[in-house]
Structures are given as structure tokens and as C-alpha cells.
């Protein structure tokens, strides 16, 4: 059941997204009104979320819960959803996880976002940040693979509850 093709091709209602991500639906609506989330499946009428939209919401929610600023959370969620758009099912088949590394150690306006595959590549990138940083290292890491699995497990539970 986890990760079947219907999971990636169907659209989701706002209430389904809120349940899957584990958040209040009103918070999701506020984020949309404030344009903190721009949806791939944007159209007139009822709001429908694609799987990429769902993952962007999950990433943004994860970052905000870990006390990341809204600006950086928006950048990370946008980068993750663009870089991994329609590639989510491929993450399940890899032995190494996919990570998004956000480096804002240089200055507040020069934020670098990079995608890395595997812990070794991620650790090398962090080492480079620490060596080249003029200020204290300041970075955020998103384990896209772990977040993806969390969403799939939650999706499965929501489906089982609705049956």
C-alpha cells in the first residue's frame, strides 16, 4: 500500500493534507492566504493539492516546527519540491537518503541551497561550510527521505481510518 502509483497521481483536499502532515487545517489556510505556499495544482474552485504540493507543505511544516524562520522555510520547501518534483517514488529505491542543505553562514542575503545524495556527500558539504565560513556556521538540513517515509506512513494511516 505504501507508495503505490495512486499516491503520486491523485490530488488531495486541504483537510487530507492537514491530516497527513499532522497540522491544523486553519494554519494551512493561513499559509495559503499569506502566499507562503504556492501550489502546483492551483486552479479555480476547490483547492486541490498534488503530491508535490503535499510534500512542500510537509517540508514547510517540518521546518517551521524546528524553529526555522519563515523565509528560510519557504526557500527550503520550494527547493525541495522543485528539485524532487515527480521523483519521490525513486527515493524509496535508493540506498542513500536525499538531503537538502541550507547554508546561511556567509550573510543573511546570500543563502545557499544544495541537494546531496548520501551522508558522505552531506558531511563533506558541511565540512566545507565550516572551513569557509566567516561567521559561525549556520545551516539547516532536511532529510528528504525520512520526511517522505513519514508522509507515506501517515497517508496509509489516514486511508485506513477512512475505510
157 vs 113: which has the higher pLDDT: 157
Which is nearest to 102 in space by CA: 135, 71, 72, 140?
140
If residue 53 lies in a helix (H) or strand (E), which one and from where to where? helix 51-65
What's the Rg (C-alpha) of the chain? 16
Please compute, for residue 49, the number of CA atoms within 13 A of its CA located in the half-sphere on the CB side. Answer: 24
Tens-place pLDDT, residues 122-135: 889 888 877 776 66
Please say whether the beta carbons of 49 and 17 come within 8 A.
yes
Assess whether pLDDT exceeds 90 at residue 2.
no
The band of 162, judged by pLDDT with boundaries at 50, 70 and 90, is confident
Contact 55, 47 (CB under 8 A): no
Interval 50-101: pLDDT, tens:
888 898 899 989 888 887 877 788 888 888 888 887 777 777 666 678 888 8
- Please count the other Cβ atoms lying within 10 Å of the Cβ belonging to residue 138: 15
Helix (H, G, I), strand (E, B) or coil at 42: coil
Confidence class for position 109, pLDDT limits 50, 70, 90: low
Q: Is 117 exposed, middle or buried (0-12, 13-18, 19+ CB in 10 A)?
A: middle
Tell me what pLDDT residue 19 has.
94
Confidence of residue 1 (pLDDT cuts 50, 70, 90): very low
Position 47 scores a pLDDT of 78
Q: What percent of the chain is modeled with pLDDT above 70?
A: 83
pLDDT tops 60 at residue 106: no
What is the average pLDDT value for the chain, to the nearest integer? 80
Nearest 10 degrees: CA dihedral of 12, 15, 20, 26? 130
Domains of the chain: 5-162 (1.10.1660.10)
Q: What does pTM read for this prediction?
A: 0.81
Amino acid at each position: 500500500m505504501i507508495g503505490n502509483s495512486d499516491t503520486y497521481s491523485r490530488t488531495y483536499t486541504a483537510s487530507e493534507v492537514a491530516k497527513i502532515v499532522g497540522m491544523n487545517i486553519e494554519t494551512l489556510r493561513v499559509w495559503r492566504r499569506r502566499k507562503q505556499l504556492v501550489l502546483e495544482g492551483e486552479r479555480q474552485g476547490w483547492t486541490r493539492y498534488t503530491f508535490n504540493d503535499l510534500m512542500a507543505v510537509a517540508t514547510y511544516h517540518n521546518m517551521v516546527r524546528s524553529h526555522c524562520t519563515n523565509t528560510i522555510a519557504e526557500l527550503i520547501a520550494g527547493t525541495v519540491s522543485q528539485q524532487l518534483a515527480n521523483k519521490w517514488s525513486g527515493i524509496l529505491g535508493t540506498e542513500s537518503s536525499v538531503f537538502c542543505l541550507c547554508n546561511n553562514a556567509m550573510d543573511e542575503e546570500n543563502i545557499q541551497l544544495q541537494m546531496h545524495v548520501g551522508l558522505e556527500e552531506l558531511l563533506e558539504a558541511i565540512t566545507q561550510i565550516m572551513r569557509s565560513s566567516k561567521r559561525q556556521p549556520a545551516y539547516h538540513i532536511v532529510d528528504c527521505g525520512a520526511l517522505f517515509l513519514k508522509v507515506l506512513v501517515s497517508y496509509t494511516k489516514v486511508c485506513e481510518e477512512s475505510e
